[in-house]
Amino acid sequence: MTARIVYLPGDGVGPEVGAAALTVLRHTADIFALDIAVEEHVFGGAAIDAAGSPFPDETRNAVSEADAVLLGAIGGPKWDKGAGDKRPERGLLDMRKALGVWANLRPIKPHPRTSAAAPVKAERLAGVDILFVRELTGGLYFGEKGRDADSAFDTCAYSRTEIERVVARAVDYARGRRKRVTSVDKANVLDTSRLWREVVEEAAAANPDIEFESVLVDAAAMHLISDPRRFDVVVTENLFGDILTDEASVLLGSLGLAPSASVGDGSGGVFEPIHGSAPDIAGTGKANPVGMILSAALMLRYALHAPEAADAIERGVEKTLNDGVLTAELGGQARTGEVADAIRANIDEKATVSG
């Protein structure tokens, strides 16, 4: 059966890193005899310009019928002053809600070749392997909100069910890793966090094979820099997860190396790098495509049930970084397409060795 992938290039560097990822994805699909069909639609700022909405009906219908969504990047100064429903980010929130994706997975595993670019001592990065599981459809981003000329409010709300399902997902992932879950909250101040911690304590009692700890978000932010090896699976709410995962990306040496997967109850999802649209370097060939390429690997693993193909891409990325094929922010000179070509060649090499 053909796997239908909807590709949303988005804005800024999105189309550039997206094209690089599609090159690697199609090549990998050929090697592993995967039947995929990719169709492109507008989204984000590009969709506002073309259709007056960041998430137009045609795109909404396409993603609702897709087996997976591969997204480049959205946003930029051009649309920053638009009304709330005319901003690119509104389209992303609406798409997550429409697709029912409620867990955002962000793996953080520094590579020795890029550690020199991280503002953390290399010895602190050795052995770091973190999987963030961020709740994606609750909290401040989706609560009731409003403003007038002199005040504004955003409501943070969570139900027990929303917390239970994301904590259960974190436990599932931890069971296949080092069996340790760190829950991040602000239970000394927030009622939502006190409910969150109650649910985590119940999950700990029900899963005695998993080691649990609860850490306040400010302490977690400190530990991510001072002792990142202490973390295995980190589960947290929407806003905290957004901030902490961007902080954690500096451990990689570049925001451009970090992938993500947004998944729900089914097997589909939205797969995108965590970086923004970087309009300042759009069109220059300087954008790092690794985060986007690794997001395609996550798509193969979590949505298309092709773990061997996902492994092949990840090994190709690892060898490419080992070989020093790096973009400018990592101290290299490789351009976006050159990195993609090197990864593609390294997938060939791995396929030959294993086959």
Catalytic residues: 141, 186, 218, 242, 246
Q: Which residues pair with 185 in a beta bridge?
A: 216
What length is written for the chain?
Answer: 355
Alpha helices in 68-180 (DSSP H): 88-99, 122-125, 160-175
* DSSP letters for 294-312: HHHHHHHHHTS--HHHHHH
Residues near 146 by beta carbon (within 8 Å), at least 6 away in sequence? 152, 153
Residue showing tokens 């609406």:
94
Q: Which residues pair with 134 in a beta bridge?
A: 104, 236
* DSSP letters for 212-254: EEEEEHHHHHHHHHH-GGG-SEEEE-HHHHHHHHHHHHGGGT-
